[in-house]
Amino acid sequence: MARPVTVLLFAGARVAVGRAELRWSVPAGGLAAGELARQIAAEYPRLAPILRSSRLVHNGEYVRGPSETVRPGDEFAIHPPYGGG
Amino acid sequence: MARPVTVLLFAGARVAVGRAELRWSVPAGGLAAGELARQIAAEYPRLAPILRSSRLVHNGEYVRGPSETVRPGDEFAIHPPYGGG
Amino acid sequence: MASVRLTDRPLSVASAFRALEARGAGGVTIFVGRVRPDPGTGGRVVALVYEAHRGPALARFRALAREAERRFPTLGLVLWHRTGRLRVGEISVIVGAACAHRAPAFATARFLIEDLKVTVPIWKSERARPARRPRRPRDRRVGRSAG
Amino acid sequence: MASVRLTDRPLSVASAFRALEARGAGGVTIFVGRVRPDPGTGGRVVALVYEAHRGPALARFRALAREAERRFPTLGLVLWHRTGRLRVGEISVIVGAACAHRAPAFATARFLIEDLKVTVPIWKSERARPARRPRRPRDRRVGRSAG
């Protein structure tokens, strides 16, 4: 069986989901980043409004487009607007 | 005999005179600040060009005009342009 | 030379200054961010919790340092941020720049903190003391033996 | 609250930061000036001697602090300057401002150092290692010891 994707949730996304990290199963051939985000928001509806102002990060790099393929074992993160300092 | 004026010399003025401090005799009734500066420059000619870009200080305050009276026992200072920092 | 750091341990201004030592550095500007007791939504802030996406945050720190070095004549840089729970008054961030002269030292430090706040994956959330006491009657049961 | 200091003892950045501690100070900017090894007229600088007219210098520091407090929303200020002979790399000046936010902290620190350089009766003179050997015997008289 394929390894899941590790989904990291920060700030408002973490609060909306209630967890800092999820394991998400994807097909062996991977899943488009946009579709993965949609699936997570369908499971956690409070995440939907936060996703609209967030950036998606795939293996530490910003996702270049919603069709970018996320594969089993990858790391996927949701970055709401930053607020360090 | 009246106490002299203490004349403090800084930076280029100190170098021109060769000393950091002078005692300068003035009449018991005092002397105009401009005249005092002229007398010192007459004695130390290398001071003259420095005086033109310097501010005169009398008892810790900038001299308001050349006719301000400097009295025996007062402190008189020559401030070339500042360069701290 | 840039020093980047993301740590849950306290940050020290003296250490940051030492990290900025460079021969020829006539001007060093350091900016320190501290937790303020501002009224938050839930009352007075008693602490902030900073979380970071560590790998991307450090990568962005390094990219930001390279960008500052391209833009300004720097001799040393510091980009340090703390994570975890910080009480009011504790230092959350230190950025600093060492340059030959003061103008670029100020410009570089300002550039670092402005950019850091909007491009580095770090977030803060408030931990507040409630603004008012709860209105519910307290349990005044009589006769309860104390202790 | 402003801390002003004119001293022939070494200046410490850590002490300056402690002097800027203030509840509510979310942003602290510190500028540190150090002796640079620039080529001077007489060769490579190995030291600078700072002299000051002590009373008027301290009076101007205090007036400058009041002016900064009028112009900016400050919670703490530092204006420290060292006098006497300083070797390359030593700290000659520290100015700093603590404010609620970063923008005024930067603006205040910049205002302090720009004004200090032109309005405070402090002067520096270079002590250089001669680029070439002197052609005639030098006058070795030591400068005024600053107070």
- Is C128 within 8 Å of C42 (Cβ atoms)? yes
**Res. C138 pLDDT band, cuts 50 70 90:** very low
Q: What is the pLDDT averaged over residues D57-77?
A: 98
Please calculate the CA angle C70-C72-C78 and round it to the nearest 5 degrees: 90
- pLDDT on residue C44: 77
Domain range summary for chain C, segments of one domain joined by +: 2-129
Which positions ≥6 away from B10 have C-beta within 8 Å?
A: B20, B77, B78, B79, B80, D51, D53, D121, D123, D144
Instruction: Specify whether domain B5-79 bears CATH 1.25.40.10.
Output: no
pLDDT at D133 over 60: no
pLDDT at D141 over 90: no
Q: What is the pLDDT averaged over residues B7-27?
A: 97
- pLDDT on residue D18: 97
pLDDT at A33 over 50: yes
Identity (one letter) of the amino acid at B79? H
Residue with tokens 């002016």: D67
- What CA–CA distance (Å, rounded) separates D30 from C18? 14
Neighbours of C47 (CB within 10 A): 17
Closest CA to D38 of C23, A65, B80, C102: C23
> pLDDT for D3-37, tens place per residue?
999 999 999 999 999 999 998 999 999 999 999 98
Phi, psi of B16 (to 5 degrees): -65, -40
Nearest to C31 among D23, D27, D34 (CB): D27
- pLDDT on residue C41: 59
Mean pLDDT over the full length of chain B: 96
Interface subset of A 11-70, CB within 8 angstroms of C: 11, 14, 57, 60-61
- What CA–CA distance (Å, rounded) separates A58 from C10? 31
Nearest to C110 among D17, D106, D113 (CB): D106
DSSP class per residue in B41-63: HHHSGGGHHHHHT-EEEETTEE-
- pLDDT on residue D142: 36
- What CA–CA distance (Å, rounded) separates B34 from B36? 5
Please state whether beta strands C84-87 and C27-34 pair in parallel, antiparallel, or not at all (unpaired): unpaired
Q: What is the pLDDT averaged over residues D111-136?
A: 82
Give the mutation candidate from D11, D12, D15, D17 for the C interface (greatest C CB count, under 10 A). Answer: D17
- What CA–CA distance (Å, rounded) separates D54 from D143? 16
Residue D29 bridge partners (DSSP): C31, D97
Extract the tokens encoding D130.
């001669």
Q: Cβ of D123 and B85 within 8 Å?
A: no
Ramachandran sector of residue B11 (left: φ over 0; alpha: ψ -120 to 50; beta: rest): left
CA distance to partner chain C, nearest, from residue A39 (Å): 22
- Is B4 within 8 Å of B24 (Cβ atoms)? yes
**Res. D96 pLDDT band, cuts 50 70 90:** very high
Give the mutation candidate from A59, A79, A82 for the C interface (greatest C CB count, under 10 A). Answer: A82
**Res. C126 pLDDT band, cuts 50 70 90:** confident
Which positions ≥6 away from D32 have C-beta within 8 Å?
A: C17, C27, C28, C29, C30, D13, D91, D93, D94
- pLDDT on residue D68: 98
In three-state secondary structure terms, D68 is: helix
Q: Cβ of C102 and D26 within 8 Å?
A: no
Q: What is the pLDDT averaged over residues C38-49?
A: 75
Q: Which residue has the higher pLDDT, C140 or A53?
A: A53
**Terminus-to-terminus CA distance in chain C, angstroms?**
60
- What CA–CA distance (Å, rounded) separates D12 from C144? 58
- What CA–CA distance (Å, rounded) separates D1 from D66? 10
- Is C37 within 8 Å of D23 (Cβ atoms)? yes
**Res. D39 pLDDT band, cuts 50 70 90:** low
CA distance to partner chain B, nearest, from residue D121 (Å): 6
CATH number of D2-129: 3.90.1170.40
Helix (H) or strand (E) holding A31: strand A31-32
- What CA–CA distance (Å, rounded) separates C46 from C39? 9
pLDDT at B35 over 70: yes
Cβ contacts of B14 on chain D, cutoff 8 Å: 51, 143-144
- pLDDT on residue D131: 56
| Percent of residues, chain D, with pLDDT higher than 90 | 76
Cβ contacts of D118 on chain B, cutoff 8 Å: 81-82
**Res. C139 pLDDT band, cuts 50 70 90:** very low
> Within an 8 Å CB–CB cutoff, is residue B8 touching chain D?
yes
> pLDDT for C104-122, tens place per residue?
999 999 999 999 999 999 9
pLDDT at D147 over 50: no
Extract the tokens encoding D147.
């107070």
Cβ contacts of B50 on chain D, cutoff 8 Å: none
Cα distances (Å, whole numbers) of residue B50 to B11, B23, B37, C103, D123: 10, 19, 11, 29, 14
Residue D40 bridge partners (DSSP): D43
pLDDT at A52 over 50: yes
Cβ contacts of B78 on chain D, cutoff 8 Å: none
| Residues of chain C with a CB closer than 8 angstroms to some CB in chain D | 12-14, 17, 21, 23-38, 88-89, 100, 102, 105-106, 109-110, 113
Q: Look at A17-21, D54-58, D70-74, D128-132 and tell me which has the smallest mean pLDDT.
A: D128-132
pLDDT at A64 over 90: yes
DSSP at D88: T
Q: What is the pLDDT averaged over residues C70-83?
A: 98
Q: Cβ of A84 and C122 within 8 Å?
A: yes
**Res. D67 pLDDT band, cuts 50 70 90:** very high
Mean pLDDT over the full length of chain D: 88
**Res. D44 pLDDT band, cuts 50 70 90:** confident
Q: Cβ of B82 and D120 within 8 Å?
A: yes
